[in-house]
Structure 1
């Protein structure tokens, strides 16, 4: 039996949703399917290229479902899978913590890296 890749459950969860954008994409899709343009507006300042990359990674991880409608012009919708919804549920308390402490967090002198 091979060794474990992750040291704990938090390590595994962060590997699936790591980075700024995936959490925001999960949040944007919580109320139902969105088309690419709707999703990009909902997420904010993400570039088209980065959104495409994040959506592909999330689809590969099983967080998202991509539905392509065979019509002209082409239509594609993204929605959460059960796995993605379960991660969104797990992230909800973290979002509440962020809301509660947002003023303090915004006051932190973050260094530009």
Structure 2
């Protein structure tokens, strides 16, 4: 058993993360690791997480998404939706009406991603104050070391 840095909360040492790779290592292992990184880059991207979370309540039109995600530009939303659609996480449905209506919604695959994404968001919300306190303490220590 190990202790945290402040020695007040004992904790078990975390298990190392094991990423399954093809037998024999080599190029196959490099390819597998590369693909895992690409998927994590997509689903871990700030805008992708917010888009997926916003779509968790059901299909939305582009403008509803745009207004529902604070700080995202129209261009950034378009690019991210296109990538999420390419990855099979979001579907795009064009309705033949005037004016044209386009809806976006999570696919079955996208819905399987919701539990870990929403757990990450919940974790971030629960720990934001503590993390901010650590940042401030670290910054004060670094500033003190400079002087």
In the superposition, the TM-score normalised over structure 1's length comes to 0.84
Residue by residue, what CA displacement relative to the aligned partner does 1:12-36 show, whole Å, maximum 9, x if unpaired? 6413313210000000000100000
Residue by residue, what CA displacement relative to the aligned partner does 1:29-63 show, whole Å, maximum 9, x if unpaired? 00100000100111111010010000000000000
The alignment of Structure 1 onto Structure 2 pairs a total of residues equal to: 109
For residues 1-113 of structure 1, the aligned pairs below 5 Å read 3-4=28-29, 5-7=31-33, 11=37, 13-107=39-133, 108=135
Distance of 1:12 and 1:59 partners within structure 2: 15
1:7 is paired with a residue of what secondary structure?
Answer: helix
Relative contact order, higher structure (CA 8 A, sep 6+)? 1
Q: Which runs of 5+ in 2 are unaligned?
A: 1-21, 137-147
Moved over 6 A (4+): none
Distance 1:85 1:104, change over 3 A: same
* Structure possessing the higher radius of gyration over alpha carbons: 2
Distance 1:58 1:102, change over 3 A: same
Question: Larger % of helix: which?
Answer: 2
